Structure 1
Amino acid sequence: MKDKISIFWFRRDLRLDDNVGFLASLKGDNPVMPIFIFDTEILENLPERDARITFIHDSLQEMRKELQDKHDSSIALYLGTPKSVFENLVSDYEIEFVYTNHDYEPYAKKRDQEISDFLGENGIEFKTFKDQVIFEKDEVVKDDGDPYIVYTPYKNKWKEHFNADEHLNIHYTSQYLGHLVKNTRLPNLSLSDIGFKKSSIKVPDYDVTPTLINNYEDTRNFPAIESGTSRLGPHLRFGTVSARKMVKKAIAEKNEVFWSELIWREFFMQILYHYPKTVNKAFKKKYDRIEWRNNEAEFEKWKKGETGFKLVDAGMRQLNETGYMHNRVRMLVASFLCKHLLIDWRWGEAYFAEKLLDYEMSSNVGNWQWAAGSGVDAAPYFRIFNPMTQVDKFDKNRKYISEWVPEHDTDDYFDKMVDHKEARERCLKTYKQAVS
């Protein structure tokens, strides 16, 4: 008879320490086999040099090496649909429990329900835990139980509920890693095994030093200041850092603005959880009546950073080359696409989903709907950024622009693809017809 084991399923929590579900599995009675599944349903839509897959693969190899070197264990890597992988695992092992951490995106919820049902049919308990957020789902709601759709009251209620002793308890796993299965030769996969090639785009290290956090309010809006933002996005997205530790740092430095950005992330997550239709439907339904122009040639110019508007082009070129775009610039390029070109926000959201290292469906959808005026707590439709005055406000010395659009002051630079005043008037007229 096979020995009983538990499985811990890594997903978007790629760290060995301060991992709630992983710790819970290690505290159980059975030896724990950690696994990661390269999900073919997700992979099939990605380019072969997707930088995020390289980052995930590199992170897993680092974790495997640590477990092999120090704990005579490893992480088993699999390729396939989660259902097919678990069908094989159930036939190969005597599994009593499968542990993992919650995921809130529509595909993940459907996947987890399918796995829960399958495991239940095989007498295996599926245990999931809150890990990637401080508050989830319906933990921060109005007094009548409805979800918040405006950020500030959500943030205020979030802070009312927040208790550092309770919510920032760090879940250290190091003393329990001896409870892993003893096997350093668990199945491994190379990038080529899963159909990918190494990307030349690197996920940058994050910076949450006291200096960065203390200067955050003064520097975060200026894209030329390299050290002005934390670059935490991809690390929070894939869980190579703990959200609890990041909130702890914000509180330690008493920085409300940095803390507030972390709360925005949870605000958009609970919006997506309660309103999954917002992935492809306007939160404010009347905005789905907008008659978008959706000119494909203009969309291509926007994608390539060839609009003739310097800050817009700089942002798009930075995105294409590095997988990152400064947040202030993201607002401008999104507004420009939706308002100046009257191209559907869903087109822009999909392009960001393809390119951004820190792509997070909830934040991306939320921010694109904000830019289009159609989302929760959105800018009013008549708020249209002026791409020229934005330069003077946020890149006065043209340092960021010069880095990404070196030809911006020469005859080689593109002509403006639209007239700002005419585009603004066209937008106002089109929106007004749709929403009034």
Structure 2
Amino acid sequence: MPNISKEHIPPPSNDQTKISIFWFRHDLRIEDNTALAEALDSDFPVLPIFIFDSLILNELPEDDARVSFIHQSILLIKESLKDHGSDILCLAGEPVTIWRELISKFNIAAVYTNKDYEPYAIGRDKKIAEMLAKKDILFFSFKDQVIYEENEIVKADKEPYTVFTPYKNKWLAKFKEENPIQLKTPKLNKLYKVNYPAMTLEDIGFKKSDIVVQDFDLTRLDLYGDHRDFPYEDATSHLSPHLRFGTIGIRQLIGQIDKKHAIFLSELIWREFFMQILFHFPHVITQNFRSKYDGIKWRNNREEFRLWCEGKTGYPMVDAGMRQLNKTGFMHNRVRMITAGFLCKHLLIDWRWGESYFAEKLLDYELSSNNGNWQWAAGTGCDAAPYFRIFNPLSQQKKFDKDFRYIRKWIPEFDSFEYPDPIVEHKFARERALEAYKIGIES
């Protein structure tokens, strides 16, 4: 694991020009970037920055594909800014320490950034805003990575929704009434005129990953509604990493889809639903959303967990999905549901183990969606699949990969004696899970 320190902070600047700073985070683009546009409308030249957060990165492997993608996206931004005589200042270390250094080096009037809704980020921003305030530096944050944030879609009594369908209906009604797709186009003529050497992956203790984030093609969405459940057809959008890191904005995206993409729009609304769940119920990070499931006695067999991770359970849809994840950082959405349900209900392994593994591997890892979907699969979350709904992976294969095309793509030894027998029989596992959940609820 890398060990990032503040050694990568540039030497002090002698230029005391009063500036605004725009802080890139999950918005790695120039087009339709709310906080960047607002900063450039301010009275001062704008210096864009990005911070490689050591508190996050020190927990990652040195070839983490997401870090490579972030780094590549920053280089693209750097090239765009150079066309306007400016640059992005890349820094590495703990954010509070970085900001203390920035305050000492620049004459900062205000800091602009787009909101982040995860608990760690909320706490980080609170500390930094308080530190800036002591120096009379304004801190502005803006809604950018969602259409509607945590308190904009609520019930009549102002309480948050915990069931998706009424949330979705309220979201769609509000969207139709307001038509909020108004793009923010930054005016790049007010950028701070600077030039910085590029920070390499090696500078922050990383190396380039062999896994590459796929480009997205919005024409693929025409296939989404009818073909999204068939993993071999690969008819999903591949947009999720780009939404996660903001290389495309949610307003840009929704502005380019139409009524025939209603199913895809529903998936985007699920994303915002889980984000507001995480905001209002942060205990879900480590606990069941529904406490009545706290009594479940998970088996947590480490050898069976290893076989699940490696795609060697003897259940082809599960194994193909896990191998796709391990090799590419991506897993088809239908298969995510199958693999997660299998871990929790066939093997009776705590959903937190699986969620943590997905968090390590997924290119599109987003805490709220990962947590929400894992708790859905386990039956412990809000609006979850009922605990007695236990998918048969073999039936799922017959329905969604009947010709074994997806399976053979990811399991080359599938038709040989090398492929293992199932580690547990479905009927036995189902009855065991039903009994464990029933006892857990009653305890």
TM range (shorter): over 0.9
- Higher deviation after alignment, 212-221 or 36-45: 212-221
Aligned positions of 1:367-382 closer than 5 A? 367-382=373-388
Aligned positions of 1:90-239 closer than 5 A? 90-163=103-176, 166-173=179-186, 176-185=187-196, 188-209=198-219, 212-226=220-234, 228-239=235-246
Deviation at 1:184, TM superposition (A): 2.0
Corresponding letter in the other structure for 2:214: P
Q: Deviations over 1:282-313 (max 9, x none)?
A: 00002121100000000000000000000000
Matched residues in 2 for 1:66 and 1:103: separation? 24
Does structure 2 conserve the Cα–Cα contact (< 8 Å) formed by 1:78 and 1:188?
Answer: no
Matched residues in 2 for 1:215 and 1:53: separation? 30
Aligned positions of 1:10-49 closer than 5 A? 10-49=24-63
Deviation at 1:165, TM superposition (A): 6.2
Corresponding letter in the other structure for 2:227: T
RMSD: 1.1
Corresponding letter in the other structure for 2:242: H
- SS across alignment from 1:203: coil
From 370, 375, 391, the equivalent of 2:397 is 391
Matched residues in 1 for 2:213 and 2:190: separation? 32
- Higher deviation after alignment, 158-167 or 33-42: 158-167
Is the aligned partner of 1:278 residue 2:289?
no
The TM-score with structure 1 as length reference comes to 0.97
- SS across alignment from 2:365: coil
Matched residues in 2 for 1:26 and 1:289: separation? 54
Deviation at 1:12, TM superposition (A): 0.4
Aligned to 2:12: none
Does structure 2 conserve the Cα–Cα contact (< 8 Å) formed by 1:214 and 1:253?
Answer: no
Matched residues in 2 for 1:428 and 1:124: separation? 57
* Runs of 4+ residues deviating >4 angstroms: 163-166
Matched residues in 1 for 2:432 and 2:337: separation? 20
Aligned to 2:320: 314
Aligned to 1:78: 91
Matched residues in 2 for 1:267 and 1:183: separation? 41
Matched residues in 2 for 1:335 and 1:258: separation? 23
Corresponding letter in the other structure for 2:269: I
Instruction: State, as a whole percentage, how many aligned pairs show the same letter.
Output: 55
Deviation at 1:213, TM superposition (A): 2.2
Q: Deviations over 1:102-145 (max 9, x none)?
A: 00001000100010111011110100000000000110000000
Deviation at 1:215, TM superposition (A): 2.2
Corresponding letter in the other structure for 2:245: F
Q: Deviations over 1:43-82 (max 9, x none)?
A: 01000000000000000011101111x1010100000111
Is the aligned partner of 1:404 residue 2:410?
yes
Distance 1:164 1:356, change over 3 A: farther
Aligned positions of 1:293-304 closer than 5 A? 293-304=299-310
Matched residues in 2 for 1:404 and 1:5: separation? 52
Distance 1:66 1:110, change over 3 A: same
Corresponding letter in the other structure for 2:406: Y
Matched residues in 2 for 1:25 and 1:254: separation? 36
Deviation at 1:245, TM superposition (A): 1.4
The TM-score with structure 2 as length reference comes to 0.95
Matched residues in 1 for 2:249 and 2:412: separation? 38
Structure 2 regions of 5+ residues with no counterpart? Answer: 1-14
Matched residues in 2 for 1:17 and 1:419: separation? 52
Aligned to 1:305: 311
Deviation at 1:217, TM superposition (A): 1.1
Matched residues in 1 for 2:434 and 2:55: separation? 40
Aligned positions of 1:321-360 closer than 5 A? 321-360=327-366
Corresponding letter in the other structure for 1:140: I
Aligned to 1:414: 420
- Higher deviation after alignment, 163-172 or 216-225: 163-172
Corresponding letter in the other structure for 2:239: L
